[in-house]
Amino acid sequence: MEKQDTFRILLKIIVMELKLRLEILSKWLQKVTTDDFYYDAYRGGKLESAIAEAQVEVCSKIGGYLEEILEMDSDQIKDELK
């Protein structure tokens, strides 16, 4: 096997590994709750509650965007980058 072939195979493995890690991040972001931001419903006020909910919403949106990007094919990615 040539060095170029070995390099290509290694690169594909790295890309697949990275994609799997990003998929995990996407899932984690979409499962975030206010508890992840140490919000205590019994001690926190309305402002704290609103902040915690906003943080959850932002994480969920980022996770959703990441999931969409991971599902794109090469042509869709090129179109988005134009």
pTM: 0.79
> Is 80 exceeded by the pLDDT of residue 1?
no
Q: First and final CA of the chain: distance in angstroms?
A: 37
Helix (H, G, I), strand (E, B) or coil at 73: coil
Angle at the Cα of 29 (from 27 to 31), degrees rounded to 5? 70
Q: Considering only CA atoms, give the Rg of the chain.
A: 19
Q: What pLDDT, on a 0 to 100 scale, did the predictor assign at position 40?
A: 77
User: Could you tell me which of 7, 2, 63 has the C-alpha nearest to residue 30?
Assistant: 63
Q: What pLDDT, on a 0 to 100 scale, did the predictor assign at position 48?
A: 86
pLDDT digits (tens, 9 = 90+) for 11-66: 999 999 999 999 999 999 999 998 888 777 777 788 888 898 999 999 999 999 99
Q: What pLDDT, on a 0 to 100 scale, did the predictor assign at position 28?
A: 96
Q: What pLDDT, on a 0 to 100 scale, did the predictor assign at position 45?
A: 83
Q: How far apart are CA 80 and CA 71, in angstroms?
A: 13
